[in-house]
């Protein structure tokens, strides 16, 4: 049986995906050397992005598993070392697509990423759970999806998407954790549990800017931004920093919530953002006999969509109505969004419908 060639070894290594950056280790220049000896023995040196990478054992096992598939392979030895400063800088430049360090890639007119800011007029309407489930539904379509938790003082994405621990840093750059195939970053990953974030407007603006420049998002098809409720500093910062971003407004059916939600949508008229549509959450509760109980009233989502259509002079669609479901709430509490936990449920079907409507053309 013939010994595998260097080209065959590298082709096998190209199937190994870095668990943090979600790209092949060969693309990331992490394969430093390949030595092929007698009887098909192969020694591979892998460069870790940071010393003591917590996922190095997984990376080693993935490398060995990929090489074990080669015909004529013998003993596989994996050596781990770390990138030097020059190599890390080259990696950061590659992940930024060659752009300057402090540039916001999503603000570039040539960017192919659809940026969708998810807004609500008030808290408690389920905006963040909508964002989390919508992210998974978009990822299920085969899209590369990121979620930026821009609700800096009321962050909830780490819990909702089941992300634990701190993100990995490469010098001053941050690698966003991946949950269910979705890249996620939140202030909640940086502060101790229970500690409040007491910041005023200018500091909030700089934080959002850093989240967009210092986090290595890579090539995304969609970036969802979970905004804080209302029309304060952060929604204005997003509109300023990413002028091409679109807005999705989340409301509940009750008229009082719809009236406030409409103001959040009307902000887009001033910032010149496109309003992509309205999502009505908690639309009804389905009783055991199959009847629908309108716990929070009816018509709020349609009211917001119609009023924003009149204000903008173009149709703002009601993208979907999500039923009130205990499993949806429980999934958000325990890091198991219903799109993944119960894909056949009625709420999951609506999220897939909305995702299909918002997905960029490929």
CA–CA separation, 192 vs 189, rounded Å?
A: 8
pLDDT in tens, 222-274: 999 999 988 778 989 999 999 999 999 999 999 888 888 888 888 888 888 99
Q: What is the mean pLDDT of the segment spanning 13-19? A: 91
Q: What is the mean pLDDT of the segment spanning 171-188? A: 87
The pLDDT score that the predictor gives to residue 1 is 62
Above 90 in pLDDT, residue 77? yes
User: Which pLDDT band, with edges at 50, 70 and 90, does 60 fall under?
Assistant: very high
Token digits for 217? 């998002």
Under DSSP, is residue 298 helix (H, G, I), strand (E, B) or coil?
A: coil
Residues 6+ positions from 280 with CB-CB distance below 8 Å = 250, 251, 252, 253, 300, 301, 302, 318, 320, 321, 322
Under DSSP, is residue 276 helix (H, G, I), strand (E, B) or coil?
A: strand
Residues 6+ positions from 67 with CB-CB distance below 8 Å = 9, 12, 13, 42, 44, 73, 76
pLDDT in tens, 298-330: 999 999 999 999 988 999 999 999 999 999 989
Above 70 in pLDDT, residue 100? no
Under DSSP, is residue 44 helix (H, G, I), strand (E, B) or coil?
A: strand
What's the mean pLDDT when you consider all of the chain? 89
Above 80 in pLDDT, residue 85? yes
Give the global pTM: 0.83
pLDDT in tens, 108-156: 888 999 999 999 988 889 999 999 999 999 999 999 999 999 998 888 9
The pLDDT score that the predictor gives to residue 252 is 93
Domains of the chain as residue ranges with CATH: 6-83 (3.30.300.130), 105-358 (3.40.50.300)
The pLDDT score that the predictor gives to residue 13 is 96
Above 80 in pLDDT, residue 177? yes
CA–CA separation, 353 vs 362, rounded Å?
A: 17
Above 80 in pLDDT, residue 54? no
Q: What is the mean pLDDT of the segment spanning 208-221? A: 89
User: Which pLDDT band, with edges at 50, 70 and 90, does 56 fall under?
Assistant: confident
Above 80 in pLDDT, residue 281? yes
The pLDDT score that the predictor gives to residue 307 is 92
The pLDDT score that the predictor gives to residue 95 is 77
User: Which pLDDT band, with edges at 50, 70 and 90, does 175 fall under?
Assistant: confident
Above 90 in pLDDT, residue 76? yes
Cα-atom radius of gyration of the chain, to the nearest Å? 23
Question: What is the separation, in whole angstroms, between the first and last Cα of the chain?
Answer: 44
pLDDT in tens, 325-355: 999 989 988 999 999 999 999 999 999 999 9
């Amino acid at each position: 049986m013939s010994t595998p060639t260097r080209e065959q070894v590298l082709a096998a290594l190209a199937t190994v995906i870095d668990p943090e950056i979600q790209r092949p280790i060969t693309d990331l220049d992490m394969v430093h050397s390949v030595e092929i000896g007698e009887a098909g023995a192969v020694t591979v040196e892998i460069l870790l992005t940071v010393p003591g990478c917590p996922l190095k054992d997984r990376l080693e096992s993935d490398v060995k598993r990929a090489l074990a598939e080669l015909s004529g392979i013998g003993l596989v030895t994996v050596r781990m070392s770390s990138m030097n400063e020059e190599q890390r800088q080259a990696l950061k430049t590659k992940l930024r697509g060659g752009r300057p360090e402090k540039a916001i890639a999503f603000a570039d007119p040539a960017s192919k990423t659809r940026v969708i800011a998810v807004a609500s007029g008030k808290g408690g309407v389920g905006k963040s759970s909508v964002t989390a489930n919508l992210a998974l539904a978009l990822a299920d379509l085969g899209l590369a999806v990121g979620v930026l938790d821009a609700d800096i003082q009321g962050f909830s994405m780490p819990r909702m998407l089941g992300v634990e621990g701190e993100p990995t840093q490469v010098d001053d750059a941050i690698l966003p954790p991946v949950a269910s195939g979705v890249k996620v970053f939140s202030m909640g990953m940086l502060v101790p549990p229970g500690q409040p974030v007491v910041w005023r407007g200018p500091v909030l603006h700089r934080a959002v800017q850093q989240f967009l420049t210092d986090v290595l998002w890579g090539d995304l098809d969609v970036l969802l931004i979970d905004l804080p409720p209302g029309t304060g500093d952060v929604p204005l910062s997003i509109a300023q920093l990413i002028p091409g971003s679109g807005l999705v407004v989340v409301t509940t059916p009750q008229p009082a919530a719809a009236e406030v939600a409409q103001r959040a949508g009307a902000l887009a008229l001033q910032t010149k953002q496109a309003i992509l549509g309205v999502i009505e959450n908690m639309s009804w509760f389905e009783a055991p006999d199959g009847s629908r109980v309108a716990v929070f009233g009816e018509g709020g989502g349609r009211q917001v969509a119609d009023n924003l259509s009149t204000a903008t002079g173009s149709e703002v669609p009601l993208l979907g109505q999500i039923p009130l479901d205990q499993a949806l709430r429980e999934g958000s509490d325990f890091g198991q969004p219903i799109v993944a936990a119960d894909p056949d449920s009625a709420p999951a079907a609506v999220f897939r419908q909305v995702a299909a409507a918002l997905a960029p053309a490929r």
